[in-house]
Amino acid sequence: MNFNHLKVFLVVAKNLSYSRAAEELFISQPTVSIQVKKLEEELGIDLFEQLGKKIYLTEAGKLLYSYVNRIFSLAVEAELAVQELKGLCSGQLVIGASTTPGIYLLPEIIGSFQELYPGLGISLEISNTHKVQEQLLLNQLDLGVVGEELMLDPQLQIEPLIEDELVVIVAAGHPLAERQSITLEELFQQRLILRERGSSTREVLEEKVRHQGNKLKVAMQLSSVEAIKQAVAANLGVSIVSKLSVGLELGAGVLSILSFSDVQLVRQINLAYHKDKKISPAVREFMRYLSRYDSNNRSLGKNYVQ
């Protein structure tokens, strides 16, 4: 079987779309169709069937997909095995992350890691947790870092990295700015600015509120942490965000933070990777580097040794 035909088949099967496959492969849609047709002619069986405007894998297509997926995974592993001979002097590391670790945690860590290993090419893709999980399962990422629990897929290995404390933020001139802590009941008396429903931060708070038999009242809802910080700095209300996300604002003196005196609001930031994926030296070393990160001091501490 032609290796290029198999690659085109794999991308079409993954997307169940000739047009999306053409975009991903940077070739024309007719070329995609022709190569799939040649593969079907070689095998003497249909691999796709069309119902209305959608295409679906036939039973033969599903069977071939499982084998081709393994073939290309092995090809990637073969390349990694060769890269191991080069040590950490070269190679690529692809990391996926959800919003909080992707924006406020990993860039600094990746930067300092690359100072140690300048020959490594590292890319960081930021998306939601479910997208990171999907990319891990499709072998598109070496490692995932997510700020909430994954939908536990048996093919993924999940390891806790650090605890992410959620804190109350207020404008520097707010009456609460002189305090160090607040109770949950006192928070309910404030004008609350929060992320949309479904965000990890809001889910943690809502779960705690439900547990105490109360109901959350939100005065303003914004779609990003950056927008929330701007609104709070303008004294439009108070909010709850990851402590990792407010370092610059605290240093500039535009925001103050308060901890809770009666409850603990934390979420786990986790490492995730495919159980069957061969861990390259670069990924292994980066995981070791991450495991020594001190989220309180925003540094790797004194325990990291090359």
**Residues of the domain holding 108:** 92-162+267-291
pLDDT at position 85, please?
Answer: 53
**Is the same domain home to 243 and 262?**
yes
**Is the same domain home to 108 and 17?**
no
Residue 305 resides in a domain: no
pLDDT at position 171, please?
Answer: 96
Residue the block writes with tokens 């109360």: 214
**Is the same domain home to 154 and 285?**
yes
**Is the same domain home to 158 and 169?**
no
pLDDT at position 224, please?
Answer: 87
Residue 133 buriedness (CB in 10 A; 0-12 / 13-18 / 19+): buried
pLDDT at position 292, please?
Answer: 81
CB 152 within 8 A of CB 158: yes
What pTM was estimated for this model as a whole? 0.61
Q: Which residues of the chain have pLDDT under 50?
A: 296-306
pLDDT at position 297, please?
Answer: 47
> Which helix (DSSP H) or strand (DSSP E) does residue 109 occupy?
helix 106-116
CB 241 within 8 A of CB 200: no
CB 120 within 8 A of CB 91: yes
Which residues lie below 8 Å from residue 256, measured CB to CB, with a gap of 6+?
169, 170, 171, 172, 174, 176, 177, 250
pLDDT at position 257, please?
Answer: 95
* Dihedral of the alpha carbons of 81, 85, 91, 93, in degrees to the nearest 10: 50
Total number of domains in the chain: 3
Which residues lie below 8 Å from residue 79, measured CB to CB, with a gap of 6+?
none
pLDDT at position 91, please?
Answer: 74
**Is the same domain home to 218 and 234?**
yes
